[in-house]
Structure 1
Amino acid sequence: MTSANLTREETAARSAAVSVRRIRVELDLSGAPDAERTGFPTTTTLEFDATTAQTWVDFIGEDVQRVVLNGREVPVRYDGARVLLDSLAPANVAQIHATGAYSRSGEGLHRFVDPVDGQTYLYTQYEPADARRVMACFEQPDMKAEYTFVVHAPAGWEVLSNQRAVAVREHDGVQTVDFAPTAPLSSYITAVAAGPYTRVTGSWARDGQRIDLGVLCRASLAPYLEADEILEVTRQGLDFFTDAFAFPYPWGKYDQIFVPEYNLGAMENPGLVTFTEHYLSRGAATDAQRAARANTILHEMAHMWFGDLVTMRWWDDLWLKESFADYMGAHASAAATRFTDAWVTFANRRKAWAYQQDQLPTTHPIVADITDLEAAKLNFDGITYAKGASVLKQLVAFVGEEAFFEGARRYFAAHAFGNTELDDLLVELEAASGRDVRSWSRAWLETSGVSTLWLETDADGTRTLVQTDPRPHRLRVGLYAREADRLVRRDQLELDISTARTPVSLPDADLVLLNDDDLTYAKIRLDDRSLDTVAASLSSLDDALARGLVWSALWNATRDGELSAARFLAIVRAHGPAESHIGLLTGVTANAAFAMAHYLPDGERTAQQAAWLQMTWEALTAAEPGSDAQLVWARSFAAASAVDDARMEDVRALLAGHGPVGLPIDPDLRWQLITALATTGHLTAEGISAELARDDTASGRTAAIRALASRPDAQVRQEAWHAAWEDDALSNEHLDAVISGFRAGGRRDLVRGFDAEYFARIEPAWRSRSIELARRLVLGLFPSAESLDAVDAWLAEHADAPAALRRLVREQRDHLARDLRVRAAQDRLR
């Protein structure tokens, strides 16, 4: 039986008995343009010491042909995931000749053919454990090695890895590229990319150090690369982190490559950072989108230290890199780039992800108990990223910013190129700050759940700050007053609280904003007077961070069934068109659409959707021509038109170029509008094909798949259903498009009949598909049913199903239960 999953215990035993020194990887990618070739030759030479007679090397591929151990050929003992080695000596050299498989799921070595020019592009993606799909390796983060890559590829291609090329030889149309050895690396952050990528070069120099910079993408996307801005943010980040961490950038060069069909936002491979192409807009982009890209660039750059230079020993301490990088992305954006409002979007969007994840039954401490790789894969979640970053912001408030960075500097100096656990960091933070960081860690890193804060006022006027799940918070309370036509802050108090009830003395205020400046991690509630104030005057509050906190409070109260969805939507309609912060506006419009789809009773949904459609159109036509707000409202209008067809003539007018002045109808917006027509039955397959002929690109083909599957026809939805489960040729992005089409328009009448079949299919799919594709199926096709009975029956009958699969189903059950609970509460909330 193939043993693809790896447990914490067995990998700990392996690293205790095996010390890896050097690994040489030779990949023959010269045949990649031939679509008939499903695999590629891969030869790995591993040099390691051992105190055991037997171990295994990880590899998942088409086959293993030869194993040579210490100079002699030995029988191949391979189960599809592990190559067994025995009769080991104290010092060993193992050479494994195998065939890897090209990927279409974004795991391992992904192969993509650009429909624009027919060119083939390759890139790798490994985290947490897909390096073994490309090379034989010890697939665990604490077995670092010096890696040397040798790659054969078609002549004329860009060929990249973590280090610089030191030799290039050509023969018969094939180039062989030898790369310099790396510093010690974990397998999951090694990387290779190859193809006719377009490159833009630059450099960064500081204190005698010079770093070559590269920005790359597919040739057909080169006009949209915005390389100058990307390089500017990169230089700003290198300046900032060099000062902040007092440790020179350690990886020699800095290439950043934007790749197709990517499963993540980005990945921190040292010297070769990979990004999703979604960060390159083929038309209009808001400043919020560029801010998000800058944040991600800086997030990945922080990983060059947090994660790459110093790496967690096992995935329990994944937070040691992800929480810090998430925090640093916002911090460095605000401190070093033009995106000085990064904390506003963080407070409203990233924290919303954390709050949602932390209220699921599967929530976990930031320092998690990760028993195996399947569990690790699912722990790249809102706790590890956004809650961890939020808690680090509270830590900075607790110890002080200088002590925080001094602790980081000591941490890098003490553990460079090594592996660490939680205690290694706490030692340095305590030494730098003199504070009891261990108690702080127990309260914040080793517990789960989110506190909720609100004010209670007794009959005699005594006020008490109440918190659920008590934790120590350092926070500020903002006191705001209506003055003329503005809502302004008149006072601010700083408090330390740690108990369930804390008496507070507060001056009179129209709006009392708990957690003003967003120092801590907690949901906040608005008292009745404050709620009435923001309902009337929210758009008159000038401070964007304060508005973001108010929007967050309103949304959390709506999600928790304490504020009616109708009132939330009324506040959005009243103040959304005046929201000047584009990051906030983008989030608010998304939340409004979600509230209508999930939290309104069936009898109210149609009227609310009609009102929302009308408002988005009015906001679109009233927005400043060419502004980011105009673009946000256009996208919202297109999304609203997919569930209400009352303004189909306006949709057609936009497609014909007769929309508001200044609105760019770029390819992405066109496809949104096309899909709205298709979803509501106003566009045929022929019309979609005509649009594809206009935009026969990778993005266009994906959008056409989505639009075709969106048509409101029972046969169409049935075909989409079967394609999702059964068509193994679908790439990761095409699978997403089919699933999105199947669910389009919220048409339960078209998809309700597949609910029972879903539960019969998920476990076989989990066992037969890669975890990435199986996860998309389990999440994307989960029934938005009218009851929980079928979910509960499956959980009861499948107690022995894989733990990672059960976790996903339990989380989806909780989302559905929340939907039903909040809908049921609406009458009470009127």
Structure 2
Amino acid sequence: MSSANLTRDETAHRSASITLRDVRVELDLTGAPEHARTGFPSTTTLTFEARTETTWLDFIGESVTRVTVNSEEREVHYDGARIAIDGLAAENTVRIEAVAAYSRSGEGMHRFTDPVDGQTYLYTQYEPADSRRVMACFEQPDMKAAFTFEISAPAGWHVLSNQSPAKVVEGIGVQCVEFEPTLPISSYITSVAAGPYKRIDGEWTRDDQHIALGVLCRASLLEYLEADEILEVTRQGLDFFTDVFAYPYPWGKYDQIFVPEYNLGAMENPGLVTFTEAYLTRGTPTDAQRGSRANTILHEMAHMWFGDLVTMKWWDDLWLKESFADYMGSHASAAATRYTDAWVRFAANRKAWAYQQDQLPTTHPIVADITDLEAAKLNFDGITYAKGASVLKQLVAFVGEEQFFEGARRYFAAHAFGNTTLEDLLVQLEDVSGRDVRAWSRAWLETSGMSTLALETDGDGERMLVQSDPRPHRLRVGLYDLVDGRLARREIVELDIADERTPVSFAGADLVLINDDDLTYAKARLDERSLDAVEQALATLEPLPRALVWSSLWNAARDGELSVERYLRIVAAHAPAEQNGGLLAGVHANAAYAIGHYVPQEEHAQQRRAWLDVTWDALASAAPGSDAQQSWARAFAAASAYDDSRREQARAILDGDAPDGLPVDPDLRWALLTGLRATGHATGEDIEAEIERDDTASGRTASIRALWSGPVVESRTVAWHAAWDDHELSNDHLSATIDGVRAGGRRDLIADLDAGYFERILPAWQERSIEIARRLVIGLFPASDALDDVDGWLSAHEDAPASLRRLVIEQRDHLARDLRVRAAQ
């Protein structure tokens, strides 16, 4: 095993023998604008108690130049990931002088140059274990310390960290900023950002608390920064969490910075939350996009308590922060902001991620068995986030909302600035609720898989609610009547079930919605009468039941129980009437996926053209300037990459003849141009002209995607090799290259490269960072018509790293499902 891949057992031994007190980190970023400089000086001084004579510090960088232990010079023992330390005393001060590397993969200290103004921007991203790419540290969550950062940077830059500056010394062309020490935190949530960012200030005041707020982004994106909206949601969230958690926000300030080429949606660094720039729409954002951003703001804010104040001991209990934050993002959005439809979007879209992940052979319990860091990296998945949040919603129904929050309040009070495991939370919830929370935990947190709930009629005519993989559920069942072409809820029945079969009396209802109000986590099937009813009148339902029906239809289609043809027919009939932007975007994605993966090959062309026509007709008839119009425009642009019958309409929009009221922003222009390119109706000259019009970071990334999308074997082959071999590609440029290789679903252009994929994935995993390797393994997986090649690789590589095998096994399962569902048609 690589020394970079830390294990749970060895880190547990280290934390048992070391008590970390303080860490001082000095970073010299003054040379960042000079791109010939690949690295930067990093000096770390750590103070700790030791109950051992030897240990190691984690560091991945260019070099370690000096090690001192208690002021004594030591020989450097560094293997590229670990710095061996010996001769420790009971009390120790260890100083490491090193050179860290600037990153282009979004891991560690990412360096980005804005093509608009040539300015350099830096930010850090560490979770789960990349702070060691910036500083020497104990890279594990249960070794908390007070961190003091001292950053040297070019004059005129904003320099930020978790705390406010304590001292700023200005020099000629440079500045040195020393920050206040943090409260005890783990290394993975320390953070640094530096560059000529633009800043909007605000403040949140509550009783005797005065918290400075800041929102920052690159100068070239300032016009898209909806700072007032972001600050409003931030204040609403701080009000809400202060009330429900009864623990004041502890981190001093609250900066939120939008950064380029970011691998995640956001990261909860206390006092300096980082967000992807994808949340800054280059045009008019839809209400659904703003709602999604608000949800993420509140998700990260929940982490200030769940994750930052109280932190899991090891990554097994990652759910102790991510499941809670995912739940709280939707809960707080609905309770404290204008985005009251947060649970609607969660039911249809977020849970779809969980359902998909939970049906893979690599699924795992929410409380997972994480043996090492590679496994931890891949467990930031639909189980830990969306399933965990879904299950917490069921827990709230089980114990009661007030009891749930009282348990959380006691948990924070008992473990502030400490580390916890599952038991620490359960004891608080059980004490305050009086319910058997441990039994609930065994059923929901410590098992994998999900139940499927369906109505059946036995031989005696008695109706049964049947569940596979039985678990205890608290349910609401909605009974709806179809009257004058509309579905209206007549009654709601609340019940607890735990057995495989439960007799029920739901006579006479046209639609029986088994998990109405979405209290539990399960796939809920529609019986035939209900399916007929929604096929007639789905659009007349209220938003949440409509979301649940869309979800049920999609789950049945991807399980092969509902024909894809019928699913697409329902989409074509009812999606044009869908006014909830979050639901509509999810339906668009699912319909396109179904056509690309589940429709038999001989029907592809017909279904792709039919879907393109649906998107164009809906776009043409949508209300001018509406969110639905924007959503259909994006769906039309995406569909145009697979069929060229609407190329004249696509070209007309690019030439300025768009449907009335449609905002044609740069991202939509690139999507339309890429569609034309993928079908052979746009040239390299067209791409050059568009990049002159939009010579921005996003524009350059989009131009890469468009360039490689041409329907030519030679072009796709060059792009395929560039993805594997060009180590200068940033994370975003790599993804754009992969997108170009796969554009338009043209397997015929790249099928001859399949064998090369299986030759390259193991070396890529061994040589590249896990983020880059993961993109290659998933993005270039051959979606062939057989499983032989992937089965052969798995059989021949039983000793390959477990995390790599997991990715390949998951891609195999997706392919197997494709083949299975196609055959069922």
TM-score by length of 1: 0.99
Match of 1:799?
Answer: 798
Match of 1:610?
Answer: 609
Post-superposition CA distance 1:175-201 (Å, at most 9, x none): 000000000010000000000000000
Shift of 1:507: 2.8
- Residue type matched to 2:428 in 1? E
Match of 2:364?
Answer: 364
Match of 1:247?
Answer: 247
Match of 2:379?
Answer: 379
- Residue type matched to 1:249 in 2? Y
Post-superposition CA distance 1:744-765 (Å, at most 9, x none): 0000110101111100000000
Residue pairs, 1:634-783, within 5 angstroms: 634-783=633-782
- Residue type matched to 1:87 in 2? G
Shift of 1:391: 0.1
Gap regions ≥5 residues in structure 2: none
Post-superposition CA distance 1:469-511 (Å, at most 9, x none): 0000000110000111311000110010001111112231000
Question: Tell me, what secondary structure is at the counterpart of 2:680?
Answer: coil
Match of 1:619?
Answer: 618
Structure 1 contact 211–253 (Cα < 8 Å) conserved: yes
Question: Tell me, what secondary structure is at the counterpart of 1:204?
Answer: strand
- Residue type matched to 2:11 in 1? T
Q: Which runs of 4+ in 1 moved over 4 A?
A: none
Deviation larger for 383-392 or 454-463: 454-463
Question: Tell me, what secondary structure is at the counterpart of 2:466?
Answer: strand
Match of 2:566?
Answer: 567
Shift of 1:159: 0.1
Residue pairs, 1:38-187, within 5 angstroms: 38-187=38-187
Shift of 1:170: 1.0
Question: Tell me, what secondary structure is at the counterpart of 1:636?
Answer: helix
Question: Tell me, what secondary structure is at the counterpart of 2:739?
Answer: helix
CA distance in 1: counterparts of 2:486 and 2:792, whole angstroms: 54
CA distance in 2: counterparts of 1:616 and 1:443, whole angstroms: 43
Post-superposition CA distance 1:195-223 (Å, at most 9, x none): 00000000000011000000000000000
Question: Tell me, what secondary structure is at the counterpart of 1:48?
Answer: strand
Structure 1 contact 387–521 (Cα < 8 Å) conserved: yes
Post-superposition CA distance 1:445-484 (Å, at most 9, x none): 0000010000001243210000000000000110000111
TM-score by length of 2: 1.00
Residue pairs, 1:298-337, within 5 angstroms: 298-337=298-337
CA distance in 1: counterparts of 2:448 and 2:810, whole angstroms: 16
Structure 1 contact 411–425 (Cα < 8 Å) conserved: yes
CA distance in 2: counterparts of 1:641 and 1:471, whole angstroms: 44
Shift of 1:770: 0.2
CA distance in 1: counterparts of 2:411 and 2:62, whole angstroms: 42
User: Is residue 582 of structure 2 the alignment partner of residue 583 of structure 1?
Assistant: yes
Shift of 1:85: 0.4
Match of 1:523?
Answer: 523
Match of 1:292?
Answer: 292
Question: Tell me, what secondary structure is at the counterpart of 1:449?
Answer: coil
Structure 1 contact 642–679 (Cα < 8 Å) conserved: yes
Structure 1 contact 8–370 (Cα < 8 Å) conserved: yes
CA distance in 2: counterparts of 1:483 and 1:649, whole angstroms: 43
- Residue type matched to 2:763 in 1? P
Post-superposition CA distance 1:345-400 (Å, at most 9, x none): 00001100000000000000000000000000000000000000000000000000
Match of 1:407?
Answer: 407
CA distance in 2: counterparts of 1:485 and 1:380, whole angstroms: 44
CA distance in 2: counterparts of 1:453 and 1:333, whole angstroms: 29
- Residue type matched to 1:316 in 2? D
Question: Tell me, what secondary structure is at the counterpart of 2:449?
Answer: coil
Residue pairs, 1:226-305, within 5 angstroms: 226-305=226-305
Structure 1 contact 667–695 (Cα < 8 Å) conserved: yes
Post-superposition CA distance 1:382-424 (Å, at most 9, x none): 0000000000000000000000000000000000000000000
CA distance in 1: counterparts of 2:38 and 2:596, whole angstroms: 42
Shift of 1:2: 5.6
Question: Tell me, what secondary structure is at the counterpart of 2:369?
Answer: coil
- Residue type matched to 2:442 in 1? R
Residue pairs, 1:474-493, within 5 angstroms: 474-493=474-493
CA distance in 2: counterparts of 1:2 and 1:372, whole angstroms: 11
Question: Tell me, what secondary structure is at the counterpart of 2:517?
Answer: coil
Post-superposition CA distance 1:754-779 (Å, at most 9, x none): 11110000000000000000000000
- Residue type matched to 1:772 in 2? E
CA distance in 1: counterparts of 2:62 and 2:579, whole angstroms: 54
Structure 2 contact 120–195 (Cα < 8 Å) conserved: yes
CA distance in 1: counterparts of 2:810 and 2:477, whole angstroms: 34
CA distance in 1: counterparts of 2:205 and 2:435, whole angstroms: 37
CA distance in 2: counterparts of 1:42 and 1:15, whole angstroms: 24
Residue pairs, 1:201-240, within 5 angstroms: 201-240=201-240
- Residue type matched to 1:134 in 2? V
Match of 1:538?
Answer: 538
Residue pairs, 1:387-466, within 5 angstroms: 387-466=387-466
CA distance in 1: counterparts of 2:374 and 2:200, whole angstroms: 38
CA distance in 2: counterparts of 1:254 and 1:610, whole angstroms: 49
CA distance in 2: counterparts of 1:506 and 1:733, whole angstroms: 52
Match of 2:33?
Answer: 33
Deviation larger for 500-509 or 294-303: 500-509
Gap regions ≥5 residues in structure 1: none
Structure 1 contact 148–182 (Cα < 8 Å) conserved: yes
Question: Tell me, what secondary structure is at the counterpart of 1:300?
Answer: helix
Post-superposition CA distance 1:332-351 (Å, at most 9, x none): 00000000010000000110
Question: Tell me, what secondary structure is at the counterpart of 1:784?
Answer: coil
Structure 1 contact 366–388 (Cα < 8 Å) conserved: yes
Structure 2 contact 391–444 (Cα < 8 Å) conserved: yes
Match of 2:19?
Answer: 19
Structure 1 contact 707–741 (Cα < 8 Å) conserved: yes
Shift of 1:596: 0.2
Structure 2 contact 485–536 (Cα < 8 Å) conserved: no
Post-superposition CA distance 1:793-818 (Å, at most 9, x none): 00000001000000000000000000
CA distance in 2: counterparts of 1:276 and 1:659, whole angstroms: 29
CA distance in 2: counterparts of 1:602 and 1:178, whole angstroms: 62
Structure 2 contact 564–594 (Cα < 8 Å) conserved: yes
Post-superposition CA distance 1:14-46 (Å, at most 9, x none): 000000000000000000000100000000000
- Residue type matched to 2:414 in 1? A
Shift of 1:284: 2.4
Match of 1:347?
Answer: 347
User: Is residue 815 of structure 2 the alignment partner of residue 784 of structure 1?
Assistant: no
Structure 1 contact 142–313 (Cα < 8 Å) conserved: yes
Structure 1 contact 2–80 (Cα < 8 Å) conserved: no
CA distance in 2: counterparts of 1:540 and 1:802, whole angstroms: 51
Post-superposition CA distance 1:251-304 (Å, at most 9, x none): 000000000000000000000000000000011221101000000000000000
Shift of 1:686: 1.5
Question: Tell me, what secondary structure is at the counterpart of 1:517?
Answer: helix
CA distance in 1: counterparts of 2:2 and 2:376, whole angstroms: 19
Deviation larger for 497-506 or 775-784: 497-506
CA distance in 2: counterparts of 1:472 and 1:322, whole angstroms: 23
Structure 1 contact 2–79 (Cα < 8 Å) conserved: no
